[in-house]
């Protein structure tokens, strides 16, 4: 049986970083807090990397190689979707992981930040309410 406790704990840590980022960019004077923002983006990048590696090694291989067709199909769909989100985050991080880069791209910084934060939060919610729930229900 797959123990999803570590995955949900990692999700909680990732969402905590996302909330810090949202809090910073929602302030009118967010430009005064860019050092803090950069710190959270880099911490988030590390947490996402660890989480995705953990999923790639321990969760998804078990699901795609399992016997349950519904979970296999769902896992394959999630793998593709997460690859797209991971690529989008990597591009975002590379564009805005320093104060200088943020200042150079201020015209798109806020909208791109909101977009990527929402994508990651939506993905986490989807995993927890659909995939993890199904894993627990089926005792996989």
> Mean pLDDT over residues 1-6, rounded?
92
51-84 CB burial, b ≥16 within 10 A, e <16: bbeebeeebbeebeeeeeeebeebbeebeeebee
Residue 9 lies in a domain: no
Q: For 47-73, how does the pLDDT look when each residue is reduced to its tens digit (9 = 90+)?
A: 999 999 999 999 999 999 999 999 999
> Mean pLDDT over residues 88-95, rounded?
97
> Mean pLDDT over residues 128-132, rounded?
96
Q: How far apart are CA 37 and CA 78, in angstroms?
A: 29
Average pLDDT, the chain: 96
132 token code pair: 């993890």
Residue 29 lies in a domain: no
| Counted domains in the chain | 1
Residue 15 lies in a domain: no
Of 27, 6, 8, the residue nearest 16 (C-alpha): 8
Residue 92 lies in a domain: yes
> Mean pLDDT over residues 91-101, rounded?
97
33 pLDDT more than 90: yes
Residue 32 lies in a domain: no
Q: How far apart are CA 17 and CA 36, in angstroms?
A: 11
Residues 138, 68 contacting (CB under 8 angstroms): yes
Residue 104 lies in a domain: yes
Residue 87 binned pLDDT confidence (cut-offs 50, 70, 90): very high
> Mean pLDDT over residues 99-127, rounded?
97
Whole domain around residue 121: which residue ranges?
Answer: 42-138
1 pLDDT more than 90: no
């Amino acid at each position: 049986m797959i123990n999803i406790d570590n995955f949900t704990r990692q999700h909680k840590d990732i969402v905590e970083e996302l909330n810090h980022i949202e809090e910073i960019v929602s302030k009118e004077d967010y430009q005064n807090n860019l050092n803090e923002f950069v710190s959270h983006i880099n911490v988030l990048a590390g947490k996402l990397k660890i989480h995705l590696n953990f999923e790639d090694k321990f969760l998804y291989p078990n699901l795609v190689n399992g016997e349950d067709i519904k979970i296999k199909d769902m896992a394959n769909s999630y793998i593709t979707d997460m690859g797209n989100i991971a690529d989008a985050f990597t591009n975002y991080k590379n564009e805005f992981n320093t104060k200088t880069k943020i200042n150079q791209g201020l015209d798109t910084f806020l909208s791109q930040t909101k977009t990527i934060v929402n994508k990651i939060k939506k993905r986490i919610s989807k995993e927890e309410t659909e995939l993890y729930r199904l894993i627990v229900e089926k005792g996989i």
